[in-house]
Amino acid sequence: MSNGNASKPAVQYHRAKLWELIAAPACSGNNICMYLCMVYASYVGSAGYGIATALVGVIITATRILDAVTDAAIAYVFEKFPTKYGKCRPFLLIGWGVESLAVFLMYTVGVNHFDGIAGVVMFVLIYIVYIIGYTINNMGGYVMVSVLTNDPKQRPMMSFFNTLYSYGVPVIANNIVIFTMLPRYDNQYNVPMLKEMTTFYIFLALLFCVISVIGIWRSDTAEVWESTKSAGVGKKQEKASLKEMWEVLSKNKDVQRYIVTCATDKFAQTTATQAVILTLLSGVLIGSYQATQVANNYASAVGLVFAFVGGMIIGKIGSKKGTVWFSWVSIGVSVLQLVVCLILGPNGMKQIGDTGSWCFLLWVFCTVGMTASRMLLSVTAMTMRGDVVDGEEYRSGNFMPSVVSGVYSLFDKGMSSICATVAAVAISFVGYANTVPQMGDEVTVPIFVLTLVLSFGLPILGFVCNLLAMKNYTLDVETLSKVQAHNQAKRLENQGKV
């Protein structure tokens, strides 16, 4: 990369307009709405299909084994998909439709109509439909970052808006659910409440899906996709197969480190935010969904300010250095929050539920710090996704955002599915083998210890993994600039312009 740079033209970045940077990442709002639906699968599985809580977690994990097949198959379809109407837009809309069908079947059509073996079979089939929709939807969203812009200064900004949707949408949605829906059902996550909640999420997801489609419209065209065929050093574009995914994963060290960083964070955070674990923390130990939601509201408002400023900083220092900085911040805040809980003890945590107490104010402070640092890590992760696509083009000569996205998605969904089993099996050891936690349950020491380990201990391990993965990650700001200059020169050379 250091030879012949003087003869190469300056990098001409493909840039997006500001409104596109704001609208296109709205697919994250779509994704989070569907995630919020399925995070309560353990509740509806137990109450609506007669399946033991631990078994629901095992079913979700076992069903996700099919992702290895669906990821490769859908990535291949994406590569071969006709570009007349773009690629991202159809995948976003089709994915929303399939996911919505699965959610509707699970919480409305199938509930209380099946039990025993029939209940297990129906639950599994519906969940498979959801997996297929999730894969289709996310393929369009993951590839979007590589198509919309390759400007290293714009990518963090797009990542910020992605984070805005990822954190802002659930805050707004949870406020509606917790303060308007949940009280009508005596603060219990029962079947009627879940049916109303998921119907609301389906239509909210559609809104964000449409906004995203509008945002990507100008870039997701046949002309843009045809131009990517000249990417690289002239090799024939490879099929998005499991073999190709394995080649990228095994040979591209930066992709490996990107996967480790994202997957460990995803595993820790998704486990901590499983519905049963959140209920143990907010409903059982603290004893107030409303108090914790108020803390989350403050945290999200302040955190978004930090994420915006941090996004500009990341644009200058790069995703590698940003990941290291904000992982250390996350470790510090997590340790502080864990210490606060240990000092209060199993029964003392209910003081946090008193919104006028010092305990509540301290909890708000910790929640603000944790939310802000996680938002910043989300910004670095999305920025890094576009960077490793550029790095793979430099390494192999092929522009393959769908293959890189397929590799990430495989690990992403694998981690997500394991989380359900970890949470479901874990709570079975503290008294919830055939039931699920609900607000007002008795506080015990095992419940206290388990909740702290999964809510704070596990995320700390994830942040440590980030630091280890970034030690040998090569795509810092300087290297990435050389990579993109090399890629552009090769594209122009293949087009006969140099």
| 121 found inside a domain | yes
* Least confident piece of the model among 152-161, 200-209, 245-254, 327-336: 152-161
Question: Is the Cβ–Cβ distance between 50 and 240 less than 8 Å?
Answer: no
Determine phi and psi for 320, rounding to 5 degrees.
-65, -55
User: Does the residue 6 lie in any domain?
Assistant: no
More confident site: 152 or 219: 219
Q: What is the DSSP string of 242-286?
A: HHHHHHHHHH-HHHHHHHHHHHHHHHHHHHHTSHHHHIIIIIIII
Number of structural domains (the chain) is 1
Task: Look up the CATH number of the domain holding residue 161.
Answer: 1.20.1250.20
Of 365 and 14, the structure prediction assigns the larger pLDDT to 365
Confidence (pLDDT) at 135? 84
Is pLDDT larger for residue 228 or for residue 145?
145
- Least confident span in 264-273, 356-365, 436-445: 264-273
Residue 12 lies in a domain: no
Nearest to 51 by CA among 105, 110, 117: 117
The average pLDDT across 268-296 equals: 88
Domain contains 426: yes
Least confident of 90-104, 132-146, 172-186, 258-272: 132-146
What is the four-CA torsion angle of 274, 276, 280, 284, rounded to 10 degrees?
A: 140
Burial class of residue 347 in the structure, from the number of CB atoms within 10 Å of its CB (0-12 exposed, 13-18 middle, 19+ buried): exposed
Query: Which range scores top for mean pLDDT: 133-137, 153-157, 217-221, 403-407?
Result: 133-137
HSE (CB half, 13 Å, CA atoms) of 287?
15
59-102, pLDDT tens digit by residue? Answer: 877 776 666 567 667 777 777 776 677 888 889 999 999 999 99
Give the length of the chain: 498
62 located within any domain:
yes
Query: Does residue 497 lie within any of the structural domains?
Result: no
Q: Which domain holds residue 141?
A: 25-488
DSSP 87: S
DSSP assignment of 12-72: ------HHHHHHGGGHHHHHHHHHHHHTTHHHHHHHHH---HHHHHHHHHHHGGGHHHHHH
Across 152-156, 205-209, 417-421, 474-478, which has the greatest mean pLDDT?
205-209
Q: Which residue is it, tokens 């009627």? A: 192
The answer to whether the pTM exceeds 0.75 is no
For residue 497, pLDDT beyond 60: no
Flag whether 125 is in a domain: yes
Helix, strand, coil fractions of the chain, as percent rounded to 5: 80, 0, 20
pLDDT at 127 over 60: yes
- Determine, yes or no, domain membership for 402: yes
Kindly tell me if the per-residue pLDDT of 484 is higher than 90. Answer: no
